[in-house]
Amino acid sequence: MSRKKTAFAAAFAGAAMAVVPVAAQAAKPIVVGITSEIGTIPGKAIANGATLAAEQINAAGGIDGRPIKLVIEDDHLSTTDAIRSFQRMVRQDHAVAIIGTFVSEVALALEPWAARLHEPYMITGAAANELSEYVHKDFKAHQYIFHAYMPAAYLARAVCDASKATLVDQFHMKTAVVMSEDAAWTKPLDAGYDSCLPKIGLKVLDNIRFAPNTSDFTPIYQKIETLKPNVIIAGWAHVGVQPTVQWAQQKVPVALAGINAQAGSDVFWKATNGATEGVITGSTAAPGVAITPKTLPFTDAYVKKFGYSPAYSAYSTYDAVYALADALKRAKSTKPLPIVHALEQTNMVGTQGQIAFQGAKSKFAHALKYGPDYVTGVALQWQAGQQKCIWPLKLANAKAKFPGFVPVPKS
């Protein structure tokens, strides 16, 4: 190489080196942490929902040209693992926000860390009331936390609203037994059931709580049968397959409704070998039902990418990532407080409804707003292998019907 050429090459390399950091700076990814329970259906759905949202946002140009980079960590349903990975994502990965977990116990353990580390944290599947009550209790210190899902009190309200419109008004049911797994999220849920079910005309005959590791539900069903209720109102998320299968195998002559979170996923039909036929569950959204113009494009893209339909937590996480991206754009900053203030101004169409967060004065500060104008969720029922929407009535694509072994009261 001649001296002239060498000098030219050196100058070019120097110029290139000078340019590269600037270009890298411009496209430096914005890191978002995801903490979840990858081995479970709702946990996997959190990771999937976030992945899909991030890919779509990046394909559309990212956040002012900067792509979102997800760091997905499995907390193995363990609070210790979750806290460690939360700290690591904040300190080593410099995540601007963390999203995830459907386990209230894990979320409750992470909240103090979000407050201490001033890290915006969006909970997208756990439902305990305490999660947003914690934000309300000391708002200034805890404002970094957003409960981007419905608190159990609203879940109970949605179940009661749906039961009134279907079980009571259409099928004249009058009595219920509440049957919930023993977990943090079902305490406020049961309290909500106990207060709202009698108001809609369903007398609560008993309230049964069982350990999440219960393997044989026969004694519980036998006990329920002696009480002769019309419907079992469930509060299940950690369990689902076994009580559903035994309900069908033993032909328990009582309808099964309430919240059976795992039944919100289409994997549930296979996992139960179809025993879920006739089971009603409250869920975030139902396949084929356009709650908003964003719902169906989301489910279609999700099924195309992952090969199965989204569980409830996929909807809430997908919406949370979009809400965060929207907030980051408006905040024009990746600092915690500007992000928090921008998130508080969120008012966007999500897959589950209109997404907006409650203010500091609300008992459920920074939780999703509930109601027909915001988010209510849906009630879906498994009919012939498909999830049909039976409530809200304006969105329903089927009328509730029950398996032959469930007697329906005459009016």
Q: Which residues bind another protein (CB under 8 A)?
A: 39-41, 44, 182, 210-211, 214-220, 222, 241-242, 245, 249-251, 262, 267, 270-273, 275
The amino acid at 408? V
Give the span between the Cα atoms of 183 and 187, in whole angstroms: 7
Shortest spacing between CB 301 and another protein, in angstroms: 22
- How many whole angstroms from its chain centre is CA 241? 19
- Which of 187, 186, 131 has its CA nearest to residue 316? 131
The amino acid at 276? T
Nearer Cβ to another protein (64/216): 216
CB atoms within 10 A of CB 211: 11
The amino acid at 318? Y
Shortest spacing between CB 248 and another protein, in angstroms: 9
Q: Where are the beta strands (DSSP E) in 196-332?
A: 203-210, 231-236, 255-260, 280-283
Nearer Cβ to another protein (78/242): 242
Q: Judge contact between 121 and 110, C-beta under 8 A.
A: yes
Nearer Cβ to another protein (83/208): 208
Nearer Cβ to another protein (92/273): 273
Nearer Cβ to another protein (191/245): 245
Shortest spacing between CB 214 and another protein, in angstroms: 5
Shortest spacing between CB 332 and another protein, in angstroms: 40
Nearer Cβ to another protein (93/182): 182
Give the span between the Cα atoms of 278 and 385, in whole angstroms: 10
Give the span between the Cα atoms of 133 and 325, in whole angstroms: 25
Nearer Cβ to another protein (169/216): 216
DSSP string over 323-387: HHHHHHHHHT--SHHHHHHHHHT--EE-SSSEE-B--TTSTTTTBBPBSTTSB--EEEEEETTEE
Shortest spacing between CB 240 and another protein, in angstroms: 8
Nearer Cβ to another protein (276/376): 276
The amino acid at 348? M
Instruction: Specify the 3-state DSSP secondary structure of 98.
Output: strand
Nearer Cβ to another protein (67/274): 274
Shortest spacing between CB 266 and another protein, in angstroms: 13
Shortest spacing between CB 281 and another protein, in angstroms: 16
Burial class (CB in 10 A: 0-12, 13-18, 19+), 225: middle
Give the span between the Cα atoms of 260 and 272, in whole angstroms: 13
Shortest spacing between CB 316 and another protein, in angstroms: 19
Shortest spacing between CB 187 and another protein, in angstroms: 15
- Which of 145, 81, 138, 136 has its CA nearest to residue 113? 145
For the record, the structure tokens of 295 come out as 């719902």
Q: Judge contact between 121 and 114, C-beta under 8 A.
A: yes
